[in-house]
Structure 1
């Protein structure tokens, strides 16, 4: 089996074995499928996706899990537009259908949540209602009506969600299904009824099932052994089964960040495939590298591979794989593609800011080189400078990158030293190969002087410098985070000062503890690393810190650093206390390093993340014709 070759699903032939899975995008208008959705999906179909599943739509209006969540009864025109846009590429397009049940939200609907039993959701703590037969009948009917509309709109079929954020999974699980009737004694009954109702409507259309095969809660949840029984009960009713893991008790487990190794569901998927009776099985689980995906097929782990985040990062993944062209890497950071939060951000990617913005004008057209024009000088070889150089070269401009360090990447190689974030280097490797392939002149170890740049077209991407400390130093040792990561490890005890609450402070504390240094982390927040809630790593990060023996100094301000200790102040009571410390690593905000004239981009405008740097590099290149 080749990743880029066709595969049969029911009556349909998909052009590749790569699946673009359902995920929250916030691209919707009201609760429908918008023009943004259409362009987003069409780009992945054009890039070779074999199977594409649209964002999961609620099949009943009792379910409104997030503000822009699609509602099946409102999706008809959007589904039809997606079908039309993807048809020329041969992609098998399916509509994701589901109901979030007790994992939903009453904030928008102002209605009670539905559930198999009266078990409060572990995240929202909200108590749902236990479904009676009329509601169960309405749910089954909702799936059937939605599936009928999907076929009328020209899609090839549906994927039913019995995975994360799913009422169907809640009926399958002893964590949430404590009923004494037939739906409790045979927990597969509801899923089988839904499958039968949907099959009656779609006929020989494609039906996929997204199934949680390990809730990671063996005391009562679905285990791999129980999943085998579920699969045996439904395999003849489905055209494929997408194997996922996770439950309400571990939502991040379904799509974890870069701390979890890619392909984590491989053995689980292999077990399910062995019991699937020939029904195709899809491997899901942070698979972002085409080589690893092909290996899973070669090893008999799965029949198809879901590569959703990889295709957000590079919609042309399959086309490039066929051509042997390097694929823009996904680093699994979840920083911009995980959008289920109250800010309603649009889905995008730190390395590919076009993702989710396909309806806007393309900033990277290829133009004919204009002979005789002065080269654009890009000062700084970090993400902003490299992206600017890449896009300018694609536009036909001559480009020279001047970097004062001996390697490209700016702050990224340093950030990659932070515990668990080594994959960030993949992006730098791709950028470096691209700029060199495009003929960009790269000068390393060169400090650009103002006199050398006079009269030339200059893009300034010189990055950031250490920012203010905000605390008093009286004889103690304070290291900026960059100094700490690039130099020798300080001897303990070390205090990591984390006024930002993102991955930096947490990762530095983990790194020091792993090197055997007695470490404490200081934060003014109630929880360490509060910003990690946005990427799904908050609970896991705090667990890692505690397992590593890092002392958590929460609700605390760092006031003074002295020779052998620090002074902390409680944010609520203003009481002070001392903690031993031979050194402090400051992980606070940095300041722009802008000392040259030119068009500034990235951190030398305001230090932020890779995403903003790349976006500004692309925008500035679009303005230099």
Structure 2
């Protein structure tokens, strides 16, 4: 398992807050799920949280509920007044984990689309994202807000919750009062900490001394000219003696991707911030020593005295996804608990595997945000690209049950690897063949794109799982239709994709994105001269390859029909950071443009609105356009189940989900296409 026994206890051993014992120091934090039923906590919420509790989460903080009806930030946002029954169900389902109700108000960062009323804010400062100007709260609204927090907290503990967590983090009205960016008041609330102190005092009175009060606090808005800084946050915390723990986070409306950034930001990015905040008076042990260390009793989190009269525990947040990093932060005295939210979305049994001494079986979290960031107009349900059952615990794909079968899986990409894994887990004999010399398929090539190496972590995990389960893996093997007939009735086809047709003429070299990355891995290169990256999709591929070329010193032009490069990255939170990286790298972005043709080292571009043409130098093209299914085997034997890109080239999430479904269908045997496994309801 690695590490000494004390280090293991520091992560998965019990910890006590306000006399209530959590089974581990791993916290599952509040986040948007879109699992709600109208504005209440739904049975899907209950199953989602319960799955993490079964896996060993010590503290579960539910999705932040609005404490006042003036706040309706997204369609399925919970409203505290409607959550009591749901909270009670979560508590019953999650024992022995501690359950805290997340409480907040989004203020100017909310939406007037649902509530159809002006947004509340400390001052009339337009939100930098929506550009909407809020109304400045008067004293009656402030009184109502404080009362709303108190009432919501009382409802939560009456429902059986162990306490509440107050949101003064990035997307919160309380942060807006704390910040000089958004609080320009001249009345009593020009003391920017005042509202937070009033809310915490009211909440403590409402829940009493026997319940936990947590605080999620923005401690760095990354805008030092006027915003919250670590130093100002430390001063704020000095007046927050009501809290039992604090979760230091970063980010503001100016930096919406900062709190839960994608895989371009290294894991554990808030460790230094957490250490700085933890050194504030009242946070950390008496005498200014670090927070709790391994080997101290769980009672160390209560009862010790400091300048505030009682010690406040510190929770490390910030892309902490590996048990090793979590243990190191605890052992080094950086924190008392560790928030591992996205890690537990990807691997619900994370804590259980650490306890069992099998951390290698923990499914890696890629931090891509492709499925875990769901605050967008599509209203998707929270999930994980490699664990599609996440968010769908009430209707998971069933295992491929039945008597043991010998199953052939053709293709060693994400779909084939997952199909083989679930078949072997269910006791079937599995042989997996891949025509390339290594496993991974398109996922291996995706991981070669600049900044996306974490995607590749899934390949060795799958490889190790197949070895553990006894799957026979053969690489460098090309399968024919006759081979499928000889294999018997139980087959899964996961043969991947191929480049699509080019919508332009060219007399120069063109490489599809996957072929370009395969060449990079093999050490092959493009001819000298400027490279044009053709990006009609606007996802991470074109942006990443353009960065990659520019980092290698190549003159690079990114051509896209969209208004902004990488437009789909708005879903993952990487849109603004990606364009900043392109700018720093010197990549020329030809926006609202279509590639017409390439001749004699010049590319002709047409404006998608006006048709106006212009030319740019071009020695070679890397094409990041749509791909087509590699489905020749399936067309030869269309009764066989298929999965992943050979159905339609999409993301890892669809490949894994279809790999599971195809595994179920494969053990049914031949006899015609049959009834396909139904898609999940949304």
Is TM-score (shorter-chain normalized) higher than 0.5?
A: yes
Contact map agreement 2:397 2:661 (CA 8 A) in 1: no
Q: Deviations over 1:515-535 (max 9, x none)?
A: 000001000011000000000
Give the CA deviation at 1:361. Answer: 4.3
Give the CA deviation at 1:413. Answer: 1.1
The aligned counterpart of 2:677 is: none
Q: In 2, distance between residues paired with 1:489 and 1:67?
A: 49
The aligned counterpart of 1:317 is: 350
Question: Is 1:390–2:425 an aligned residue pair?
Answer: no
Give the CA deviation at 1:369. Answer: 6.0
Q: In 1, distance between residues paired with 2:403 and 2:464?
A: 20
Contact map agreement 2:40 2:82 (CA 8 A) in 1: yes
SS in 2 for 1:252: coil
SS in 2 for 1:423: helix
Question: Is 1:376–2:373 an aligned residue pair?
Answer: no
Give the CA deviation at 1:368. Answer: 7.9
* TM-score normalised according to structure 1 size: 0.97
Question: Is 1:150–2:183 an aligned residue pair?
Answer: no
Contact map agreement 1:489 1:512 (CA 8 A) in 2: no
The aligned counterpart of 1:496 is: 533
The aligned counterpart of 2:171 is: 165
Contact map agreement 1:104 1:113 (CA 8 A) in 2: yes
Match of 1:400 among 408, 431, 435: 431
Match of 1:345 among 367, 371, 380: 380
SS in 1 for 2:563: coil
Question: Is 1:599–2:599 an aligned residue pair?
Answer: no
The aligned counterpart of 1:259 is: 264
Q: Deviations over 1:148-178 (max 9, x none)?
A: 0001101100000000210001000000001
The aligned counterpart of 1:306 is: 339
The aligned counterpart of 2:364 is: 329
Q: In 1, distance between residues paired with 2:484 and 2:94?
A: 48
The aligned counterpart of 2:328 is: 295
The aligned counterpart of 1:485 is: 517
* TM-score normalised according to structure 2 size: 0.89
Contact map agreement 2:492 2:666 (CA 8 A) in 1: no
SS in 2 for 1:599: coil
Q: In 2, distance between residues paired with 1:315 and 1:588?
A: 35
Give the CA deviation at 1:507. Answer: 0.3
Q: In 2, distance between residues paired with 1:392 and 1:531?
A: 34
The aligned counterpart of 1:200 is: 205
Q: In 2, distance between residues paired with 1:615 and 1:28?
A: 23
Contact map agreement 2:535 2:542 (CA 8 A) in 1: yes
Question: Is 1:608–2:650 an aligned residue pair?
Answer: yes
Give the CA deviation at 1:363. Answer: 2.0
The aligned counterpart of 1:575 is: 612
SS in 1 for 2:279: helix
Q: Deviations over 1:505-551 (max 9, x none)?
A: 00000000000000010000110000000000000000000000000
Match of 2:127 among 117, 121, 128: 121
Question: Is 1:443–2:474 an aligned residue pair?
Answer: yes
Give the CA deviation at 1:624. Answer: 3.4
Match of 2:250 among 236, 245, 248: 245
Contact map agreement 2:269 2:319 (CA 8 A) in 1: yes
The aligned counterpart of 2:308 is: none
Q: In 1, distance between residues paired with 2:98 and 2:21?
A: 7
Q: In 1, distance between residues paired with 2:548 and 2:39?
A: 44
Q: In 2, distance between residues paired with 1:396 and 1:527?
A: 49
Give the CA deviation at 1:563. Answer: 2.5
Question: Is 1:177–2:212 an aligned residue pair?
Answer: no
Contact map agreement 1:477 1:563 (CA 8 A) in 2: no
Question: Is 1:540–2:582 an aligned residue pair?
Answer: no
Q: In 2, distance between residues paired with 1:256 and 1:181?
A: 36
Give the CA deviation at 1:613. Answer: 0.3
Q: In 1, distance between residues paired with 2:14 and 2:255?
A: 34
Q: Deviations over 1:436-476 (max 9, x none)?
A: 11111000111112222215221110100010110112x22
Q: In 1, distance between residues paired with 2:530 and 2:132?
A: 43
Give the CA deviation at 1:396. Answer: 1.2
Give the CA deviation at 1:483. Answer: 2.2
Q: In 1, distance between residues paired with 2:53 and 2:357?
A: 19
Give the CA deviation at 1:623. Answer: 2.6
Q: Deviations over 1:472-523 (max 9, x none)?
A: 12x2221111222222232220000000000000000000000000001000
The aligned counterpart of 1:514 is: 551
Q: In 2, distance between residues paired with 1:262 and 1:399?
A: 35
SS in 2 for 1:165: coil
Q: In 1, distance between residues paired with 2:402 and 2:331?
A: 42
Q: In 1, distance between residues paired with 2:654 and 2:398?
A: 15
**Superposition map of 1:40-189 within 5 A:** 40-87=48-95, 90-184=96-190, 186-189=191-194
Q: Deviations over 1:52-80 (max 9, x none)?
A: 00000000000000000000000011011
Question: Is 1:270–2:275 an aligned residue pair?
Answer: yes
The aligned counterpart of 2:504 is: 471
Q: In 1, distance between residues paired with 2:381 and 2:345?
A: 12
Contact map agreement 2:538 2:567 (CA 8 A) in 1: yes
Give the CA deviation at 1:622. Answer: 2.1
Contact map agreement 1:368 1:396 (CA 8 A) in 2: no
Question: Is 1:429–2:429 an aligned residue pair?
Answer: no
Q: In 2, distance between residues paired with 1:14 and 1:100?
A: 29
Count of residue pairs the alignment pairs up: 616
Q: In 1, distance between residues paired with 2:30 and 2:398?
A: 27
SS in 2 for 1:611: helix
SS in 1 for 2:216: strand
SS in 2 for 1:520: strand
Contact map agreement 1:477 1:561 (CA 8 A) in 2: no
Q: In 1, distance between residues paired with 2:67 and 2:73?
A: 12
Q: Deviations over 1:341-400 (max 9, x none)?
A: 0110001110000000000145237x6863xx4x11000000000110011111111110
Match of 1:462 among 495, 503, 507: 495
Q: In 2, distance between residues paired with 1:324 and 1:522?
A: 49
